[in-house]
């Protein structure tokens, strides 16, 4: 990460000398390297925060006339509060002391340090290597933040097993075939075999040894997601591995906190987490969503030259909005709603996942935090403005439009800058009939998409308001075929009503799934399930 260098001679804030070095040069022929930005990011320091808290002042005088000085902007830490390590630029004119051999071990001998809380005090000698001095700030009462410790704490907070989340407090949005309760056991592998449910209320301990990897589900920015089986009881999960070196501690902690504290039928359920022995990875154990993501479903439909029907699209839209409404009630914005983060369970229930970039609202809005996937971002986010939960509504609209039209709503050949300009300045994309393919969509559905893609954020409805849209009400008044539809998408056999002794739960009972997808048709009747 690049930290902004303080502009020489630029506006300065109140500076407080933290450390003054008394230089008694013993070897003056090798000047120390000047003007290095030296992040105080030894282990235990949060190197990416408070980048603006330090600067140096070459022209300032120090306690000792010849001594180079380090100055810090020193916001006085509130009592009992953690202080992140500042970044300092060391302005050291001469090697201080020590041998000049290959080891290049020199020592700076600070005479006085100054702590905003304690005033001047004398620290120990601080070794230098390679002519760069790294001087820890002296905040005796401020505990250093150890990222590994922070992660361990966050992991242990959620590693209380599935018992904490086993109560699905969210409303069921429809009545799927089979069990509606989310549990690892209910997601049998590829329709072969039913695994017993873990005992409710009994926390499970997870580690690498207990898992067997079935397949790799995909890879995101921070790590990979695997389909795994717990060899102790055959339970099936999705395991997300986050490489701690690639993702900021804050981001991992935020994701862990959000998934550990959310409990809703339209949010992927978390069953626990653990750290790899080397602490280089955090692994999150989630419910496995057999129905896969809207991205994978879209690809499958394309392969078969099939499109999705209105009733199915409406159910999916409703599930997304329920999930977002719940998140909003928890003062959370997802910030990365896109087809690969919208999953379906075996029963066709929508499950939002990937809270890596989600944000917790302190006020109703965020200001200009550029996090997420550009192509699904609302105009106010792309342009760096303030944004609210309504930004997630836009992303949901783009994702749905992509799914039903089976193509990305913006021209594919746009460069990043052109895409930004299109999102911010052009007429928002809309749902259109395709007479050539004999596809027509209802006016209600077209209006629903239009409402989600209103450019002016304040005029765009919230997820809660979108749930009252006539299209959603019409769709939700009709019979639910999600389980049948998702089975047809993936070609799963129909589950038998009563499993015969010794047979698998998802045994094919002879249902003909051959005609599960029309090549094309009107938008309202593309599949038997529709």
Q: Quick one: which of 27, 221, 231, 508 contacts ligand ATP (CB under 6 A)?
A: 221
220 binds ligand ATP (CB under 6 A): yes
Which class for 485: exposed (0-12), middle (13-18), buried (19 or more C-beta within 10 A)? Answer: buried
What is the closest distance, in whole angstroms, from the C-beta atom of residue 352 to ligand ATP in the complex?
10
Question: Degrees (nearest 5) of the Cα angle 312, 314, 318?
Answer: 120
Closest CA to 485 of 302, 313, 278: 313
Q: Which stretch binds ligand ATP (CB under 6 A): 218-226, 244-252, 311-319, 468-476?
A: 218-226
What is the closest distance, in whole angstroms, from the C-beta atom of residue 252 to ligand ATP in the complex?
13
Q: Quick one: which of 353, 482, 483, 529 contacts ligand ATP (CB under 6 A)?
A: 353
Taking the CA atoms of 338, 340, 345 and 346 in sequence, report the sign of the dihedral they define: positive
Q: Quick one: which of 162, 274, 288, 471 contacts ligand ATP (CB under 6 A)?
A: 288
What is the closest distance, in whole angstroms, from the C-beta atom of residue 353 to ligand ATP in the complex?
5
Q: Which stretch binds ligand ATP (CB under 6 A): 86-94, 120-128, 189-197, 282-290?
A: 282-290
What is the closest distance, in whole angstroms, from the C-beta atom of residue 362 to ligand ATP in the complex?
24
What is the closest distance, in whole angstroms, from the C-beta atom of residue 349 to ligand ATP in the complex?
12
Give the span between the Cα atoms of 389 and 334, in whole angstroms.
8
Q: Between 31 and 60, how does the x/- string for binding to ligand ATP read (CB under 6 A)? A: ------------------------------
Q: Which stretch binds ligand ATP (CB under 6 A): 3-11, 59-67, 284-292, 382-390?
A: 284-292
What is the closest distance, in whole angstroms, from the C-beta atom of residue 282 to ligand ATP in the complex?
13
Q: Quick one: which of 85, 151, 158, 343 contacts ligand ATP (CB under 6 A)?
A: 343
Taking the CA atoms of 218, 484, 267 and 455 in sequence, report the sign of the dihedral they define: positive
Question: Which residues carry out catalysis?
Answer: 336
**Per-residue CA distances from 206 to 17, 212, 253, 284 (Å):** 49, 12, 18, 10
Structure tokens at 69: 């000085």
Q: Which residues contact 459 (CB under 8 A, 6 or more apart)?
A: none
Structure tokens at 93: 């004119």
Q: Would you say 299 and 490 are in contact if contact means Cβ atoms under 8 Å apart?
A: no
Closest CA to 357 of 252, 264, 267, 283: 252
268 binds ligand ATP (CB under 6 A): yes
Give the span between the Cα atoms of 129 and 400, in whole angstroms.
57
What is the closest distance, in whole angstroms, from the C-beta atom of residue 237 to ligand ATP in the complex?
8
228 binds ligand ATP (CB under 6 A): no
165 binds ligand ATP (CB under 6 A): no
Mark out the alpha helices in 185-329 (DSSP H runs). 249-261, 294-303, 310-329
Please tell me whether 79 is known to bind a ligand. no
Phi, psi (5° rounding) for residue 98?
100, 180
In the bound state with ligand ATP, the residue whose beta carbon lies nearer, of 225 and 431, is 225
Q: Which residues contact 454 (CB under 8 A, 6 or more apart)?
A: 428, 460, 461
Closest CA to 471 of 452, 450, 443: 443
In the bound state with ligand ATP, the residue whose beta carbon lies nearer, of 96 and 228, is 228
In the bound state with ligand ATP, the residue whose beta carbon lies nearer, of 85 and 483, is 483
Phi, psi (5° rounding) for residue 106?
-120, 170
Q: Quick one: which of 286, 308, 312, 454 contacts ligand ATP (CB under 6 A)?
A: 286
Give the span between the Cα atoms of 213 and 158, in whole angstroms.
22
Q: Between 172 and 211, how does the x/- string for binding to ligand ATP read (CB under 6 A)? A: ----------------------------------------
Q: Quick one: which of 217, 316, 439, 483 contacts ligand ATP (CB under 6 A)?
A: 217
What is the closest distance, in whole angstroms, from the C-beta atom of residue 58 to ligand ATP in the complex?
43
Structure tokens at 166: 């086993």
For the chain, give the number of residues.
530
Binding residues for ligand ATP, rule CB under 6 A, total: 20
**Per-residue CA distances from 28 to 21, 66, 103, 329 (Å):** 16, 14, 17, 64
Q: Is 377 helix (H, G, I), strand (E, B) or coil?
A: coil
Q: Do strands 386-387 and 350-352 pair parallel, antiparallel, or not at all (unpaired)?
A: unpaired
What is the closest distance, in whole angstroms, from the C-beta atom of residue 165 to ligand ATP in the complex?
14
How many C-beta neighbours within 10 Å does residue 275 have?
A: 20
Give the span between the Cα atoms of 492 and 193, in whole angstroms.
13
Task: Report the site for ligand ATP in 473-502 (rule: CB under 6 A).
Answer: none
Residue whose Cβ sits closest to ligand ATP: 220
In the bound state with ligand ATP, the residue whose beta carbon lies nearer, of 371 and 518, is 371
354 binds ligand ATP (CB under 6 A): yes
Q: Between 367 and 406, how does the x/- string for binding to ligand ATP read (CB under 6 A)? A: ----------------------------------------
Q: Quick one: which of 159, 249, 341, 388 contacts ligand ATP (CB under 6 A)?
A: 341
In the DSSP assignment, the letter for residue 300 is H
Give the span between the Cα atoms of 5 and 55, in whole angstroms.
8
297 binds ligand ATP (CB under 6 A): no
- Interface ranges with ligand ATP (CB under 6 A): 217-221, 225, 238, 240, 268, 286-289, 293, 336, 340-341, 343, 353-354
Q: Which residues are annotated as a binding site for ATP?
A: 240
Q: Which residues are annotated as a binding site?
A: 240
């Amino acid at each position: 990460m690049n930290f902004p260098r303080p502009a020489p001679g630029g506006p300065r804030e109140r500076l407080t000398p933290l450390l003054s070095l008394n230089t008694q040069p013993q070897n003056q022929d090798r000047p120390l390297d000047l003007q290095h930005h030296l992040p105080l990011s030894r282990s235990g320091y949060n190197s990416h925060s408070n980048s603006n808290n330090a600067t140096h002042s070459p022209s300032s005088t120090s306690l000792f006339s010849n001594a180079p000085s380090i100055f810090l902007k020193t916001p006085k830490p509130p009592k009992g509060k953690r202080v992140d390590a500042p970044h300092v630029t060391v302005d050291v004119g001469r090697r201080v002391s020590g041998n000049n051999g290959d080891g290049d071990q020199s020592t700076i001998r600070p005479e006085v340090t100054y702590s905003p809380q304690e005033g001047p005090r004398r620290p120990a000698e601080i070794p230098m290597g390679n002519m760069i001095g790294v001087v820890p700030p002296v905040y005796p009462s401020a505990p250093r933040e150890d990222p590994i410790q922070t992660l361990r704490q966050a992991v242990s907070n959620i590693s209380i097993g599935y018992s904490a989340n086993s109560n699905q407090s969210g409303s069921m949005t429809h009545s799927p075939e089979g069990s509606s309760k989310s549990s690892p056991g209910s997601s049998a592998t590829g329709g072969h075999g039913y695994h017993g449910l873990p005992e409710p209320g009994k926390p499970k301990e997870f580690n690498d040894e207990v898992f067997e990897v079935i397949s790799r589900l995909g890879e995101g920015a921070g790590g990979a997601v695997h389909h795994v089986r717990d060899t102790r009881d055959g339970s099936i999960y999705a395991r997300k591995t986050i490489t701690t070196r690639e993702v900021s501690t804050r981001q991992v902690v935020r994701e862990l906190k959000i998934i550990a504290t959310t409990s809703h039928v339209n949010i992927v359920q978390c069953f626990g987490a653990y750290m790899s022995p080397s602490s280089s990875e955090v692994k999150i154990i989630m419910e496995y969503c057999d129905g896969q993501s809207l991205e994978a479903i879209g690809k499958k439909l394309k392969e078969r030259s099939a499109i999705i029907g209105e009733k199915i699209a409406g159910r999916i839209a409703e599930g997304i909005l329920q999930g977002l409404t719940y998140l909003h009630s928890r003062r959370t914005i997802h910030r990365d709603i896109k087809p690969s983060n919208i999953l379906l369970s075996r029963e066709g229930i929508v499950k939002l996942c990937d809270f890596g970039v989600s944000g917790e609202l302190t006020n109703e809005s965020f200001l200009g935090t550029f996090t997420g996937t550009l192509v699904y971002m609302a105009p106010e986010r792309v342009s760096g403005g303030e944004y609210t939960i309504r930004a997630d509504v836009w992303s949901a609209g783009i994702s749905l439009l992509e799914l039903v039209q089976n193509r990305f709503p913006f021209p594919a050949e746009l460069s990043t800058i052109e895409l930004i300009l299109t999102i911010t300045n052009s007429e928002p994309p809309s749902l259109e009939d395709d007479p050539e393919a004999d596809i027509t969509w209802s006016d209600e559905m077209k209006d629903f998409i239009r409402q989600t893609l209103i450019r002016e954020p304040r005029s765009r409805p919230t997820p809660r308001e979108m749930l009252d849209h006539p299209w959603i009400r019409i769709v939700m008044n009709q019979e639910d075929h999600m389980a049948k539809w998702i089975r047809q998408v993936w070609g799963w056999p129909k589950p038998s009503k009563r499993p015969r002794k010794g047979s698998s739960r998802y045994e094919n009972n002879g249902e003909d799934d051959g005609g599960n997808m029309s090549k094309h048709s009107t938008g309202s009747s593309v599949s038997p399930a529709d």
